[in-house]
Chains A and B, each alone.
Chain A
């Protein structure tokens, strides 16, 4: 079946392409569910993205009020309404009185004329129930069916919105009517979880077309409706072993054999004040230095505050915000349901297209409707980032010192490829920061605790002294280092003495060796002379022996 895409992120995937072309879909929803926004996006996108002229018959809002409401939306409402999208003021005038039976002949005549004149392909009637407020149920059923029949004959792709009040439709019995008479039914719902509203949409029916069943969360943001749809095939994306990305801390890069792997997720857990955000900032700084696009999403404090704070450790991210390489955004954690955060994050990623993303802290999602929803949403965020090949760093606030011993919130620790825990060590009246790599998938890594030192020059990690079961940090470590330095100096002096002695001995031996060599040379010369003299004497003897042999008639020699 041919489909007409709505151009709404997520919804077209749920509808396997879009609304069935030439068919009528009924959109049911209560107040604040975004029925009008959905209808408007369907029409505006239809014209601006797919070149299909559209018509909105507005039975509730005047075109002037719609223009005011949509003027703030970034999608090209004004542009479309001026060109390919028509707005028809369908409000029933106030002093209308019934005086007998009537039908929708006027509406149908008007639409027929506009279809012929403007080539309208898409139509939205918002909200169709207003039209039926006039008369009895029998009329409503008959006229609704007539309207559907006519829309199909006209081959229009239509959306009819219908209001719902606390589960009851504005038109009694309309639910069943819409379900059997229309080609498709899309149900928008808004529910309260605590004090937060959660919006979900579900396709109840889509004749002749496939769709994703179940409830899909969606959000209405400044750029319209966005539905959360993570196809099951991409949730299982397993990242390949990516290249190494600098963590922004030299020593940490070495501990991780080069850095985090690209396309993987890193979790930095720890108590408040353990410099989790700073490590996140270092990761972004390293990315921006390498010319990568970066995104920071903060929940606990304004992003601007973070930018100022990290200046104290020599990280200047503001320059990258100005150049547009880094986008820093902050939200109030508990203001909306976690689904909405997901969709806002997805929208930000779509808009900024980052290589690196930091979410600080991911645990803020728990304030957005409880840990059950937050856990699912966190997993979806990880799946989303992996499917886009984005390297991510999440911070997580733990409530106890040994964050690593706790099951970390949101189960992110099980999904994360690398997990680093930051902590404090109290010793000798000092509180020092420590860093431990808890796990790092597919990477050899140091399992030693390191002391993390923050200064105006940046972040540094130093070895800690682990001797006799005690770990030395801060001043204790420094004292130990001082002692060691003295020991080393003494050792160095001793060594140089030994070197001098050895060198002296070597020189003496070398002298004696030279003398001996001279003696050997003299002996050799003397011996050579002796050999020469021996040969002369030997020659005379041989001649004498031959003579004797002849004289004595000896046997012939060979």
Chain B
């Protein structure tokens, strides 16, 4: 079932930052080999319970379950995003 490191991207509805973040993330992931990551986009408006459980109060937030690392923001800072993906890939 598990096809790579799970990434959760919490977004708030279809706000402009949502679109930007999803695009930035997909572009970065394309540089990695297939099946290295599995991405799930979580809309906090529809899954408030999951936002509470993961203490997500700012959006967008990217986290990799099982690691303590998280990125907040629209992921436009490419270097931070790459560093994040490389560090969670090891897990």
Contact = CB atoms under 8 A, between A and B. Distances in A.
Interface of A: 57, 88-110, 112-114, 131, 134
B72 A98 contact: yes
Nearest to A111: B48
5 contacts: A94-B68, A100-B24, A100-B77, A106-B59, A114-B48
Contact of B56 (A57, A99, A106, A112): A106
A89 B44 CA distance: 16
A93 B62 CA distance: 12
A106 B57 contact: yes
A131 B72 CA distance: 12
Interface in B46-91: 48-49, 51-52, 55-62, 68-77, 80-81, 84
Contacts of B61: 102, 106
Interface string B23-58: 010000000000000000000110011011001111
B68 A95 contact: yes
Given A105-B13, A106-B51, A113-B49, A99 B76 contact: yes
Interface of B: 10-13, 15, 17, 20-21, 24, 44-45, 48-49, 51-52, 55-62, 68-77, 80-81, 84
B58 A100 contact: no
A102 B72 contact: yes
A459 to B, nearest CB: 68
A103 B80 contact: no
B48 A107 contact: no
Contacts of A131: 57-58
B56 A102 contact: no
A261 B81 CA distance: 81
Nearest to B71: A99
Nearest to A113: B48
A110 B44 contact: yes
A174 to B, nearest CB: 18
Contacts of B10: 106
Contact of B80 (A98, A105, A114): A98
A108 B68 contact: no
Contacts of B15: 103, 105
Contacts of B12: 103, 105-106, 108-109
Given A100-B74, A105-B44, A90 B80 contact: no
Contact of A90 (B20, B45, B57, B75): B57
B57 A100 contact: no
Contacts of A107: 57-58
A125 to B, nearest CB: 10
A286 to B, nearest CB: 61
B52 A103 contact: no
A117 to B, nearest CB: 8
Contacts of A101: 17, 73-74, 76
Contacts of B20: 100
A139 B59 CA distance: 13
B59 A105 contact: yes
Contacts of B44: 105-106, 109-110
Contacts of B71: 96-99
Contacts of A93: 55, 68, 70
B68 A99 contact: no
Given A100-B74, A102-B59, A110-B52, 20 more contacts: A57-B57, A93-B55, A95-B70, A96-B71, A97-B70, A97-B72, A97-B84, A99-B74, A99-B80, A100-B21, A100-B73, A101-B17, A102-B61, A104-B57, A105-B13, A105-B58, A105-B59, A106-B61, A108-B12, A109-B45
Contacts of B80: 97-99
A12 B75 CA distance: 47
Nearest to A98: B73
A110 B61 CA distance: 14
Contacts of A106: 10, 12, 44, 51, 56-59, 61
Nearest to A94: B68
Contacts of A96: 70-72
B17 A98 contact: no
Contacts of A103: 12, 15, 17, 58-59
A109 B50 CA distance: 11
Contacts of A110: 44, 48, 51-52, 57
Contacts of B70: 93, 95-97
Contacts of B74: 99-102
A268 B35 CA distance: 89
Contacts of A134: 58, 72
Contact of B77 (A94, A98, A104, A112): A98
Contact of A97 (B49, B52, B69): B69
